[in-house]
């Protein structure tokens, strides 16, 4: 039941959405995602970009327009524009979407110092496909551990300049996917830094749409790599798992999708602004997207316990993966964002 409700609204890593060539992760308001997918399969219309039958090409103007604006999907990915008339109509509604749907947090691909041994890196925008295209800004967190090694949380696209800058900070010791949606570039970084230990949620190997590098499962207690410096706990919904981290030296909480906080002034597409308002993830009242909240419908007690533990850490700041992060009043922001569960 929860899964079916979630299917109405959310990008579920298990298959309601597909990720494009440069796209990854993230959820938000996925209206109708997955509705037409079974029907399309039944009609045998599920095929890949580049191998379409001529009669099926550009069945409506929206498709043609869409194909002219986006990069082709990898052959192993399904085109989001071949989802029948409903998909076509919804895609039409979502256009025009500028190539960069929002003003990103410049400068990009540069480690920005937040506190001693703590940086954030704002990366390129990423698009998630699940019927409609939804753009998200990306953000990586870097922590320098006491032994000098670097701990990379939710790696963004490995821009060559960024990789060079990261190398100047220290050896990359840990690469980490903090939830079951933020993993798209993990393999790329693992290839660049084969000596790094890779960590990911336990469920991710089952749901990932891209091959993961060999990795260890994130648990409810810190790995010896970062124990004593970074605390952690797991928040699991019915189809979504996120590992929450707390950097003790700087009293900074790291959340990924459990709070999203988009600044509407940065969003160029009015349709995306509507989606963000519907999802309840608008600055300054950012929180978990409504669809994600539904996946915790049967797990409110566990989530409440997780929030209680986060509050006990007394964070000063909260770094988020999407939108403006909170550089002060961490406890207050936690109580506000999770008031629906407390
Ligand atoms: Fe995300």
pLDDT in tens, 268-290: 888 889 989 999 999 999 999 99
Average pLDDT of the chain, as a whole number: 78
Report the predicted TM-score, pTM, of the whole model to 2 decimal places.
0.74
The proportion of the chain whose per-residue pLDDT surpasses 70, expressed as a percent, equals 70
Distance 155 CA to ligand 1 centre (A): 12
**Average pLDDT, integer, range 25-45:** 34
**Among residues 206, 250, 253, 208, which one has the least CA distance to residue 233?**
253
The proportion of the chain whose per-residue pLDDT surpasses 90, expressed as a percent, equals 62
Secondary structure letter of residue 249 according to DSSP: T
User: What are the residues whose beta carbons fall under 8 Å from the beta carbon of 272, sequence distance 6 or more?
Assistant: 97, 101, 102, 134, 135
Distance 42 CA to ligand 1 centre (A): 31
**Average pLDDT, integer, range 22-50:** 33
pLDDT digits (tens, 9 = 90+) for 207-256: 998 999 999 999 999 999 999 999 999 999 988 999 999 999 999 999 99
Distance 182 CA to ligand 1 centre (A): 6
pLDDT of residue 203: 85
Distance 195 CA to ligand 1 centre (A): 26
Distance 25 CA to ligand 1 centre (A): 6
pLDDT of 31 strictly over 60: no
Average the pLDDT over each of 291-295, 324-328, 337-341 and give the range with the smallest value.
291-295
Distance 11 CA to ligand 1 centre (A): 10
Distance 151 CA to ligand 1 centre (A): 19
pLDDT of 127 strictly over 90: no
The Cα–Cα gap between 62 and 81 comes to: 9
pLDDT of residue 130: 61
- C-beta of residue 151 within 8 angstroms of C-beta of residue 230: yes
The Cα–Cα gap between 232 and 221 comes to: 6
pLDDT of 312 strictly over 80: yes
DSSP letter string, 110-169 = --EEEETTEEEEEEEEEEEEESEEEEEEEEEEEEE-TTS-EEEES-----HHHHHHHHHH
Interhelix angle 300-313/330-337, rounded to 10 degrees, is 170
- C-beta of residue 304 within 8 angstroms of C-beta of residue 248: no
**Among residues 19, 49, 48, which one has the least CA distance to residue 209?**
19
Q: Which residues sit with Cβ closer than 5 angstroms to ligand 1, an ion?
A: 25-26, 257, 321
**Average pLDDT, integer, range 120-149:** 90
Distance 264 CA to ligand 1 centre (A): 17
Average the pLDDT over each of 130-134, 174-178, 260-264, 320-324 and give the range with the smallest value.
130-134
Distance 187 CA to ligand 1 centre (A): 17
pLDDT digits (tens, 9 = 90+) for 160-189: 999 999 999 999 999 999 999 999 999 999
Distance 303 CA to ligand 1 centre (A): 18
pLDDT of 98 strictly over 70: no
Residue 51, SS3 per DSSP: coil
- C-beta of residue 239 within 8 angstroms of C-beta of residue 13: yes
DSSP letter string, 269-281 = -HHHHHHHHHHT-
- C-beta of residue 172 within 8 angstroms of C-beta of residue 155: no
**Among residues 174, 185, 334, 341, which one has the least CA distance to residue 254?**
334
Distance 68 CA to ligand 1 centre (A): 27
Distance 41 CA to ligand 1 centre (A): 28
Distance 60 CA to ligand 1 centre (A): 31
Distance 54 CA to ligand 1 centre (A): 36
Distance 252 CA to ligand 1 centre (A): 18
**Average pLDDT, integer, range 67-86:** 36
Distance 55 CA to ligand 1 centre (A): 37
Distance 30 CA to ligand 1 centre (A): 13
- Residue given tokens 């989530």 in the structure block: 303
pLDDT of 338 strictly over 50: yes
């Amino acid at each position: 039941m929860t899964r079916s409700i979630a299917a109405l609204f959310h990008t579920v890593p298990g298959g309601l959405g597909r990720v494009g060539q440069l796209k990854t992760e993230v959820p938000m308001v996925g209206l109708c995602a997955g509705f037409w997918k079974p029907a399309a399969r039944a009609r045998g219309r599920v095929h890949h970009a580049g191998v379409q039958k001529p009669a099926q090409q550009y069945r409506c103007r929206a498709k043609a327009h869409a194909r002219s604006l986006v990069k082709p999907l990898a052959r192993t990915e399904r085109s989001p524009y071949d989802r029948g008339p409903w998909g076509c109509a919804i895609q039409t509604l979502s256009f025009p979407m500028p190539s960069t749907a929002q003003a990103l947090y410049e400068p990009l691909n540069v480690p920005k110092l937040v506190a001693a041994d703590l940086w954030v890196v704002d990366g390129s925008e990423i698009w998630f496909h699940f019927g409609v295209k939804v753009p998200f800004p990306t953000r990586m967190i870097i922590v320098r551990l006491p032994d000098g090694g670097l701990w990379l949380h939710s790696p963004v696209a490995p821009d060559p300049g960024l990789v060079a800058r990261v190398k100047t900070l220290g050896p990359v010791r840990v690469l980490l996917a903090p939830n079951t949606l933020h993993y798209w570039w993990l393999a790329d970084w693992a290839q660049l830094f084969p000596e790094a230990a890779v960590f990911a949620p336990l469920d991710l190997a089952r749901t990932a749409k891209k091959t993961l590098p060999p990795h260890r499962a994130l648990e409810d207690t810190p790995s010896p790599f970062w124990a004593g410096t970074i605390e952690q706990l797991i928040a699991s919904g019915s189809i979504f798992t996120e590992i929450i981290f707390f950097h003790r030296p700087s009293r900074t909480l790291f959340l990924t999708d459990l709070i999203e906080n988009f600044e509407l002034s940065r969003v160029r597409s009015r349709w995306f602004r509507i989606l963000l308002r519907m999802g309840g993830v608008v600055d300054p009242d950012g929180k978990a997207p409504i669809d994600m909240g539904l996946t915790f419908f049967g797990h409110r007690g566990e989530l409440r316990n997780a929030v209680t533990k986060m509050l006990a850490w007394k964070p000063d700041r909260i770094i988020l993966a999407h939108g403006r992060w909170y550089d002060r009043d961490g406890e207050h922001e936690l109580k506000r964002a999770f008031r629906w569960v407390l």
